[in-house]
Amino acid sequence: MEEVIQSLIQPADSKIVMLVMDGVGGIPNNGKTELQAADKPHLDKLAQKAETGMLTPIYPGITPGSGPGHFGLFGYDPIKYNIGRGVLSALGINFPLQSGDLAARINFCTVDTEGKVTDRRAGRISNEECSRICDKINDNIEGVPGVEIFLRPVKEHRALLVLRGKPFCEKIRETDPQKTGVPPLKPEALIDDARPTSQMLEKIISQVKTVLQDEPQANMILLRGFAEYRRFPGFFERYGLKAQALASYPMYKGISRLLGMEVLEGLGSLEEEFNALKENFDRYDFFFVHVKYTDSSGEDGDFHKKVKMIEKVDAFIPQIEALKPDVLVVSADHSTPSPMARHSWHPVPVLMKSPYARVDGVKAFDEESCLRGSIGQMLSYQFFTYMLANADRLQKYGA
Amino acid sequence: MEEVIQSLIQPADSKIVMLVMDGVGGIPNNGKTELQAADKPHLDKLAQKAETGMLTPIYPGITPGSGPGHFGLFGYDPIKYNIGRGVLSALGINFPLQSGDLAARINFCTVDTEGKVTDRRAGRISNEECSRICDKINDNIEGVPGVEIFLRPVKEHRALLVLRGKPFCEKIRETDPQKTGVPPLKPEALIDDARPTSQMLEKIISQVKTVLQDEPQANMILLRGFAEYRRFPGFFERYGLKAQALASYPMYKGISRLLGMEVLEGLGSLEEEFNALKENFDRYDFFFVHVKYTDSSGEDGDFHKKVKMIEKVDAFIPQIEALKPDVLVVSADHSTPSPMARHSWHPVPVLMKSPYARVDGVKAFDEESCLRGSIGQMLSYQFFTYMLANADRLQKYGA
């Protein structure tokens, strides 16, 4: 189907804005979801002029991480375009991955004299400590012939490992034993092809241990999320869309860059994102505007804060509408119900204003109302094609 | 899935009528779609006794041509059973294709003394001129050993080319340069296997140019939509259904014939189609009744005419009901919203009356009402199986 869609792409002058309210979907708390509890006159008015529906991010019952959730919204089947955690971690800190690189997440940990893990998080060392230790390893590690080794701090005890220069295989067992009192696991090859990578990793881990032997806390590493980096076909290649990402968090910028969007750096607040949208509106076809705080308040389990965040976003809707995009989509990458305080599998509401919208009588932008909308229910990645049609960017199939 | 369904087919005495109101789906115009604006008491009453739902013709956002739209309604996955434009063109003029034939669309064009295209439509020559020129080529072309060459007029500057007698490959670049001032493109092989076909086509084009060299307008051909004709499994083979098509337009008759339906020739008006349904009701299991004018009025952008056409069809509903078919389906191959004046991707409403209908409280046959029906939302080609079940033509799966 992907090939068929790509063969139907046609150029157009239309402009598309996709506003992603991260994790906005919820479950009722005292009878109302966060969207139902919020006072959001602009979103509701928009829903009344739009088509609405429900999107299932990955597959019924599957809770998406941030990567797959966004991939789906961007029309990339998140099962096919699976992106390993190591690579996501690298994208999150804007590490310039090259095709063929092997990335892995590092947890610094503490081991005792027998090599048994005593603290899987090395006492949650500070970001500064993490930086210092990464530098120490980069400067002192002996290395493996033909392989470049990069360590980069992420946050607290978390860091990134990237290997470059050989053909690697990601089918390696994670070394985190998931409990204390035992040594780290070996980076075993899960398939035969992974043996050379496994042997390199064993050497590197052993060298790191030597470099860190005098450290009081972070004296060992645990490796997780081994992932080879491969280039994905980008927005322009697949859709003919010149796309810009307006996001403040590194992870979302990284995902956008991976898909060939131009990322505007230096954005912090919502105000800055929406101002940037206005300033750049003439220069791109597609705009991804990312709102983080609906998700983070949900993850904090803070119902009222999430409601407030929705209301805050609502106030910016007239600013988007004033730009008169041909297609305006509001949706989410996944649900983060505050009563659950984590991502969930629940479908997310979507609204789309377009010149061709089959307006459906839905009066509000929330989970219950949008269930009755004329977009119906579909997988997130299928919706992108539907949106492209509304932007006059797809030819007819067959005669 | 297709094999599973075929293995479950069982014979039955049931009769099925599928009324296809071509392009009947719409988008609101002053708040109402054509179906919502029409006074159609019989269709609405039927919806109240039926199950209703929404069908997506191909895939979310994909606008179907007439071929794929009907294939979907007939239970043929339109991506798998892709039918090339050349073959559709041949079906449209009832050219008797044989398995293995290569068909292509011809546009007669005008080239200057340097061979550059000056008019891609040869001044839109008349149908008579088109006939005369096709005959001239058929009579005078030198030909290629072992290959039969057929040229047939279609309409104005459009004609059909069919090659027969060799193994052909359709992976050939179209020769229409899509602009004037440049020569036609060569019929290049897009894959290695297409080289012999490409060479034959080069010879044929060159011979045609020689035959037409003294013509003032149509002195060259452009070839598009190369398509091999392969036989598809027909209605009887797949479903055990003896099927009859009641349609007045050549394209729909062609599609029906391709799927093994018997086509009643000589039908013009709706009256004739519905009278034929009555006369032939004892002789077939499945009847495809095709209404063209809902689509053509939509393509004309004529909202009121489309409304009138819906009302005209509505008046025939009692005549169908009087025949007491076991299953009566009313739907469409795609939407043709008159505000868009073209086919669109919007899902189409469907109603099905059957002894087993889960009647759903839907009061009217239109896009918004049927969205709430108990058929739910599915792809058009999946609906056919659902319909077969309602006609007692599918066994239980598993014990």
- So what's the pLDDT on residue B250? 81
Is this prediction's ipTM beyond 0.95?
A: no
pLDDT value for A168: 96
Indicate whether B254 pLDDT > 90.
no
Chain B residues within an 8 Å CB radius of A7: none
Give the mean model confidence (pLDDT) for residues B5-28.
Answer: 97
Specify the CATH number for A8-81+232-390; select among 2.40.40.20, 3.40.720.10, 3.40.50.12170, 3.40.50.10490. Answer: 3.40.720.10
* A398 vs B: CB within 8 A: yes
* pLDDT digit string, tens, across residues B79-107: 999 888 899 889 888 899 999 999 999 99
- Indicate the pTM of the whole model: 0.88
pLDDT digits (tens, 9 = 90+) for A94-146: 899 999 999 999 999 999 999 999 999 999 999 999 999 999 999 999 999 99
Residue A399 has pLDDT above 80, yes or no: no
- Residue B200: which pLDDT band, with cuts at 50, 70 and 90? very high
> Per residue in A36-64, is it b (16+ CB within 10 Å) or e — as a string?
bbbebebbbbbbbebbbbbbbbbeeeebb
Whether residue B23 lies within 8 A of chain A, CB to CB, comes out as no
* Backbone dihedral region for residue B353 (phi beyond 0: left; psi -120 to 50: alpha; all else: beta): beta
Chain A residues in contact with B346 by the CB 8 A cut-off are 356, 358
Reported as a single tens digit per residue, the pLDDT across B123-153 is 999 999 999 999 999 999 999 999 999 999 9
pLDDT at B390: 98
Nearest to B61 among A359, A376, A386 (CB): A386
At B275-323, the pLDDT tens digits run 999 999 999 999 999 999 999 999 999 999 999 999 999 999 999 999 9
Q: How far apart are CA B347 and CA B22, in angstroms?
A: 13
Per-residue pLDDT tens over the stretch A246-281? 999 888 998 999 999 999 999 989 999 999 999 999
Distances (CA, A) of A224 to A121, A152, A163, B30: 13, 15, 14, 58
Q: Are B53 and B363 in contact (CB under 8 A)?
A: no
Partner-chain residue, chosen from B28, B63, B78, that has the shortest CB–CB distance to A396:
B63
Q: Residues of CATH 3.40.720.10 domain(s) within chain A?
A: 8-81+232-390
* A358 at B interface, C-beta within 8 A: yes
Largest distance between two CA atoms of chain B: 74
Decide if A160 contacts A152 (C-beta within 8 A): yes
Of B59, B83, B367, the CB nearest to A398: B83
Per-residue pLDDT band for B158 (boundaries 50, 70, 90) equals: very high
CB contact under 8 Å between B59 and A388, yes or no, is no
Asked whether the predicted pLDDT for residue B202 surpasses 80, the reply is: yes
Residue type, A92: G
What does pLDDT average to over chain B? 95
Please indicate whether, in this complex, the C-beta atoms of A358 and B346 are within 8 angstroms of each other. Answer: yes
Q: Is A4 in the B-facing interface, judged by CB distances under 8 Å?
A: yes
Q: What is the pLDDT of residues A201-247, one digit of tens each?
A: 999 999 999 999 999 999 999 999 999 998 899 999 999 999 999 99
CATH of domain B2-81+233-390: 3.40.720.10
Give the sheet arrangement for strand A376-379, strand by strand.
A262-263, A243-246, A286-291, A16-21, A327-331, A348-353, A51-56, A376-379
Q: Where in chain A is the domain with CATH 3.30.70?
A: 88-228
Residue intervals of chain B classified under CATH 3.40.720.10 are: 2-81+233-390
Residue of A1, A358, A370 to mutate, interface with B, max B Cβ within 10 Å: A358
Give me the CATH topology for the region A88-228: Alpha-Beta Plaits (3.30.70)
